[in-house]
Chains A and B, each alone.
Chain A
Amino acid sequence: MRICVCVKRVPAPGSKINITADGQQVDTTNLGFTTSPHEECAVEAAAQLVEEHGGEATVLTLGPAEAEEQLRYAISVGMHRGVLLATADGEWDPQRTARALTTAITELEAVDGPFDLILFGNESADAGGFQVGIRVAHALGRPMVNGAKGLSVADGAASVEREADAGRETYSLPLPAVVGVKEGVNLPRYPTMRGRLASKKAEVASNQPSADAGGLAEQVLKSPPERTSQTIVLGTGPDAAPAVVDVLEELGVLS
């Protein structure tokens, strides 16, 4: 089967997210970059499905030239080739991103045939738009379910499980289909030495996308109010246990 996975390069902040002086971006000085966690699981799901059913998987991203790093990482854990839609003007809004991804997927399918499955993350870690995958699926006329915590393919259909208030729900989507996955659907593997070598040699195509902007515009980023706390240190080591239990008694959790 043929699978396409859409991933996004995002910074990996530590204890706090700093913002640039103009309020337009996350200050990435001294920060590493990563792929959104849900999308790492989408990559793993694609790798497992290809191992089970044969075929190949393409990883696609829209972002700065440096996003090639995330494509090569995905290749090192089982994707076969990468496609970079290189932008030079910062983050694109969700409609614009979806339009560019749809065009790119349509072009890839025109050359090599349709993807049986296109995978997204449930939401991107940074923008959290909850929509790019759904827009692409609609533009392609394919069924789409977001939030997958279970995914398997059999008899021309993708079986999707997800969590709801009442329990686990299942969906059965005829292929070709689009699925947005959530972290926890699987445990992503780490690259092997062989995977790392393959990722160095693999083909990564780069195109300049163009698409019209949509109607959601970011004005400025800000930090939420911080919860400051005068931490009471109850002690050092096991000797602090009675003081901890005193606190639990005060809070009424020791019934």
Chain B
Amino acid sequence: MILVLIEHDRGSLAPASLEALTAARTFGDAVEALTIGDTADGLAADLEAYGVTVVHQAHDDVLGDYGPEAWGEVVAQAVRALSPAVVLATGTDRGNEVLAQAAARLDLPFAANAIELRGSADADTLDMTRVRWGGSLLEDASLTAPTKLVTVAHHAVDAAPADTPGAATPSLLAVEIDPSLARTVVSGRVEREAGVTLATAPVVVGGGRGVGSADGFAPLQELADELGGVVGCSRAVTNNGWRNHTDQVGQTGTRIAPDVYFACGISGAIQHWVGAMASKHIIAINTDQQANMVTKAGHAVIGDLHEVVPAITAEIRRRKSA
């Protein structure tokens, strides 16, 4: 049996979870789901379409909101009670955190961010390919354990319903949660303001060290505004204090996927590239024709961004008013 951790926020399903459910079916074994907290009981109906046969539901006073230790403890108790061959979650912040917590409690190995799983679930060892360096490198790895704890890298699998729906029969999982684990339950939140974010913007105008200063970003901001987009940047920029880290694209910043990414004065280091490579079109502006960003882009302008960017904005304005 494959047990899939369903991620949700106070009862609203994290769509990313459906990726792990889809991956779980490739084993050909029964797929069962685990939901944590009674706010998630209503999710059982959503899981039918994904081929889930049984939904194990864990209830406890400590499980009213997300808490990594309490959630990890529930997964550990589910593993002891149900002996699944494999436990899957999607490799989100929470997915990775909860399975690591469960692994620590069970003293079992855990593999984060697999993109391919090979072999039968019941074998002693599960072979896989997993992500290293935020996706710049891959690793073939083997996980040897009675229950294999694995997350599937977010976006590695497209969520798809099963050919035949499952019954998704609810089943109460008896758990005993030490009340002290409330110490890591969310204690407050500030809801996000509406508006385009770096991760969702249709156009990103990115600047690198070539921009030269914080003030140098004003023309990039103008171009972004003209196109309904946002400004992004490289780590060289954040390290210099020219832009806030919330603007950083890359391995340790944000993954972007805009229709168009302008990469201005960015060399295209591998750690930047992994954050930008999902862009549909890349236009690089660089003084160096050999820069990695230029050779990887679909389109490029060779020249000084301080001249090229304002010229593009002016041309857009000219055409808009024509």
Contact = CB atoms under 8 A, between A and B. Distances in A.
Interface of A: 13-17, 19, 26, 37-38, 93-95, 98, 123, 125-131, 134-135, 137-139, 143-147, 162-174, 182-184, 187-188, 214-224, 227, 229, 231-242, 244-245, 247-249, 251-255
Given A15-B270, A247-B299, 15 more contacts: A93-B109, A125-B252, A134-B72, A138-B105, A144-B184, A165-B9, A167-B191, A172-B183, A219-B139, A221-B138, A223-B137, A227-B277, A236-B302, A237-B303, A248-B316
Given A174-B183, A253-B259, A217 B137 contact: no
Given A16-B270, A17-B270, A248 B227 contact: yes
A128 B145 contact: no
B189 A168 contact: yes
Given A217-B144, A219-B142, A248-B260, A237 B308 contact: yes
A170 B184 contact: no
Contacts of A235: 301-303
A139 B267 CA distance: 43
B307 interface: yes
Main secondary structure of the interface of A (DSSP, over half): mixed
Given A125-B252, A169-B189, A215-B145, A224 B135 contact: yes
A238 B308 contact: yes
B112 A241 contact: no
Interface of B: 9, 14, 66, 68-69, 72, 91, 93-94, 96-97, 100-101, 103-105, 107-113, 127, 129, 131-145, 151, 183-192, 202-203, 227-228, 235, 238-239, 241, 244-246, 248, 251-253, 259-260, 267-271, 273, 277, 281-284, 289, 292, 294-304, 307-308, 310-312, 314-316, 319-320
B112 A17 contact: no
Nearest to B303: A237
A130 B186 contact: no
Contacts, number: 270
A26 B93 contact: no
10 contacts: A95-B109, A123-B112, A143-B69, A233-B289, A234-B299, A237-B301, A240-B303, A241-B311, A241-B315, A247-B281
Contacts of B281: 247, 251
A128 B133 contact: yes
Nearest to A219: B140
Main secondary structure of the interface of B (DSSP, over half): mixed
Contacts of A231: 284, 294-300
A223 B131 CA distance: 10
Contact of B143 (A123, A215, A232): A215
A133 to B, nearest CB: 9
Contacts of B105: 138
Contact of B112 (A26, A93, A130, A221): A130
A161 B252 CA distance: 17
Contacts of A248: 227, 260, 316
B136 to A, nearest CB: 5
Contacts of A253: 202-203, 227, 259-260
A135 B104 contact: yes
B104 to A, nearest CB: 4
A102 to B, nearest CB: 10
Between B101, B183, B277, B310, the greatest number of chain A beta carbons within 10 A of the residue's beta carbon is seen for B183
Contacts of B303: 235-238, 240
Give 6 closest A-B pairs by Cβ, nearest first.
A184-B245, A215-B109, A238-B311, A138-B104, A241-B311, A131-B100
Contact of A187 (B109, B129, B241): B241
Contact of A164 (B9, B103, B244, B294): B9
Contacts of A214: 109
A232 B307 contact: no
Contacts of B302: 233, 235-237
A14 B301 contact: no
Nearest to B134: A128
